[in-house]
Amino acid sequence: MKKISGAEAVIRCLIEEKVDILFGYPGGAIMPVYDELYKFQDKVHHILTRHEQGATHAAQGYARSSGKVGVAIATSGPGATNLVTGIADAQIDSTPMVCITGQVASNLLGSDAFQETDIIGISTPVTKWNYQITKASEISEIFAKAFYIAKSGRPGPVLIDITKDAQFEQLENFEYKKCKNIRSYFSVPDTNPESLKKASELINNAKKPLIVWGQGVILGNAENEFLNFIEKTGIPAAWTILGLSAVPTDHPLNVGMVGMHGNYGPNVLTNECDVLLAIGMRFDDRVTGNLESYAKQAKIIHFEIDPAEVNKNVIADVAILGNVKETLKDLLTLVEENKHEKWVNKFTEFYNIEFKKVIDKEYNKKVGGLSMAEVIKSVNDNTNGESILVTDVGQHQMVACRYTKFNSSKSNITSGGLGTMGFALPAAFGAKIGDPKREVIAVIGDGGFQMTIQELGTIYQTNAAVKIIILNNNFLGMVRQWQQLFFDRRYASTEMINPDFVAIAKGYFIESKKVEKREELDKEIKKMIEFNGPYLLEVIIEKEDNVFPMIPSGSSVSDVRLE
């Protein structure tokens, strides 16, 4: 066999892992790999983002819409440090991602060489695993491990740093063996059959059971098992923001969102249920509010793949370890068929109150400035729950997630745990590339849009047909809301004087339009959806609207406010 370089070995590893898309940005220390990408461009397609942060978010969007591992690549030093926000985001939201960074030659390590930075040290707390390759002979084993670790068990980001000399080094022979097992790593913990039995007893005797499900259902590809489970047991089920879309919006047992801006019913009734089933979720503080008064009356059953999450925030009466795809299937045979009609009706009663006090006023608004909810309504009317929603961070995120209709899973992509402004625009074209047949709609605030605005360049260059809606309230709206409610309206540095977004889009040769009037909204949304190619729609929103319901931070879920 002829010798190949370490850089070529990197590409061959990617091909072995069936990676056909990379998001990245070149530079000195990664040039040998880029040179090989040039040669292999018919097999591995590289998408040049306009900033390395964009590459990570695009890889995340790609991973979430396709279910595959997203791959991002960058040079050493500033290229590598620009990846950090996306890596931290992927870590806290369990997104499978492999990041590849170039590094100075191994003989220069530690010398403060040009563009040397200790990316292994920097990324350690925010990666599931990382490794620095200094010899070409390590490449195939490390890549195999990296992909296995990123996607197995609870997924997460992995970073591989490769010194430049390892990329140039000639390899005598290249062999690739997929990694199936690492002796020190238990990807999926064993399920104790006793825990299933105990859980089934609690469930079968429950009068007012409530399910809160999270992204674990989606990451475990357990949507069918989950549906079978709720339908057999008749238990109402609420979602965390990352669990959204696993169950169709219209399903009668889907009772809405929990948490800080979740729905009224599931928040209040969390403190009235007798058994709380937490399925693939981790009791984030944005979900639980004050832990001292969170579901204290309920028996807690926690379905978890990550043992470190059990008893971390909420003590479980029964912990069911394992992949929910298996555990829900096994539990299904032990639970009795049931209907909790009266209890489920309670959610409807609460919904009706919320509808009157909040939803109707904003979703069906008729006078005054446009509301964010109206825009989502129009999107719903024009897409029928079939599109992928990508949101940034802020008020528009909460509104879009609350109101968007979904018919199928893996359709909601947002930055949940880290709350990374700037996530949506790159994540949106990543999602589009990950699932090109589906409509991708990015809903973004005027603040967050300007954090990764340069990715319009990537969208233009790749012609990724994403539909971008900027909900422009000329404010960092979510922060302004807090200032209004908790800081006596002292709007410190939250008002934004914005550029002409339509002109900017035009500058990138992206079709664009601005809407200010209610009469034009629906027509313009329809035009945007029907347009064949990327499109940016700026919608001018009432400046000082607030998102409700809201649980003020530190309060109990029972104290969710409607106004």
Partner 1 sequence: MKKIKYTISIYTENNVGLLNRISAIFLKRHINIRSITSSESEIPNIYRFIIVVNVDKEQIIKLVKQIEKQIEVIAAYFHTDEETIFLETALYKVKSKSLFNERQIQNIIKESRANIVTVKPDYFVIEKTGWREETEDLYLKLKKYGLLQFVRSGRISVSKKSMEITKFLKSNKNE
Ligand X SMILES: Cc1ncc(C[n+]2csc(CCOP(=O)(O)OP(=O)(O)O)c2C)c(N)n1
Q: Report which residue's Cβ sits closest to ligand X.
A: 445
Q: Binds 394, which of ligand X, partner 1, none (CB < 5 to 8 A, cut-off by type)?
A: ligand X
Q: Do residues 314 and 294 make contact, with C-beta atoms less than 8 angstroms apart?
A: yes
CA distances to 62, 147, 463 from 140, rounded to whole Å, are: 24, 11, 34
Rg (CA), the chain: 24
Q: Is residue 149 involved in binding partner 1 (CB under 8 A)?
A: yes
Per CB under 6 A, does 420 bind ligand X? Answer: yes
Query: Considering Cα of 241, then 244, then 246, then 250, what sign does the dihedral take?
Result: positive
Pick what 476 binds: ligand X, partner 1, none; C-beta below 5 to 8 Å, kind-dependent.
ligand X
For Cα atoms 57, 41, 167, give the angle at the middle one, nearest 5 degrees.
80
Q: Quick one: which of 479, 432, 424, 482 has its CA closest to 453?
A: 424
Residue 46, beta-bridge partner list: 22
Concerning whether 52 is annotated as a catalytic residue, the answer is yes
- Helix (H) / strand (E) element for 513: namely strand 511-515
What type of residue is 26? P
Nearest-angstrom CA–CA distance, 560 and 364: 22
155-194 binders of partner 1 (CB under 8 A): 180-188
Name the binder of 479 from ligand X, partner 1, none, CB < 5-8 A by kind.
Answer: ligand X
Please say which residue, 121 or 436, places its beta carbon nearer to partner 1: 121
Q: Which of 1, 308, 367, 497 binds partner 1 (CB under 8 A)?
A: 308
344: CB partners within 8 A, 6+ apart: 234, 236, 252, 253, 255
Q: Reduced to 3 states, what is the DSSP secondary structure of residue 400?
A: helix
Give the binding range for partner 1 (CB under 8 A) out of 28-36, 58-66, 164-172, 307-315: 307-315
Indicate which single residue of 81, 395, 409, 512 sits in contact with ligand X (rule: CB under 6 A). Answer: 395
Q: Are strands 170-171 and 4-5 parallel, antiparallel or unpaired?
A: antiparallel
Is residue 417 at the binding interface for ligand X, with CB under 6 A as the rule?
Answer: no
* Catalytic hit among 17, 36, 52, 309: 52
Tokens 């406010």: give the residue: 561
18 binds partner 1 (CB under 8 A): no
Output the CA–CA distances (angstroms, integers) from residue 233 to 122, 250, 333, in the order listed: 47, 18, 11
From ligand X, partner 1, none, which one binds at residue 114 (CB under 5 to 8 Å depending on kind)?
none
How far, rounded to the nearest angstrom, does the alpha carbon of residue 7 sit from its chain's CA centroid? 31
Which of 138, 231, 306, 326 touches partner 1 (CB under 8 A)? 306
Q: Name which of ligand X, partner 1, none residue 420 binds, using a CB cut-off of 5 to 8 Å depending on partner kind.
A: ligand X
- The option from ligand X, partner 1, none interacting with 184 (CB < 5 to 8 A, set by class) reads partner 1
Of 39-47, 101-109, 279-287, 442-450, the segment contacting ligand X by CB under 6 A is 442-450
Return the bridge partners of 561, or none.
550
Catalytic residue among 398, 451, 478, 550: 478
164 is catalytic: yes
Binding of residue 476 to ligand X (CB under 6 A)? yes
The CB-of-472 to ligand X minimum distance in angstroms stands at: 8
Site for partner 1 contains 291 (CB under 8 A): no
Catalytic residue numbers read 52, 114-115, 164, 478
Binding positions for ligand X, rule: CB under 6 A: 392-396, 419-422, 445-448, 471, 473, 475-479
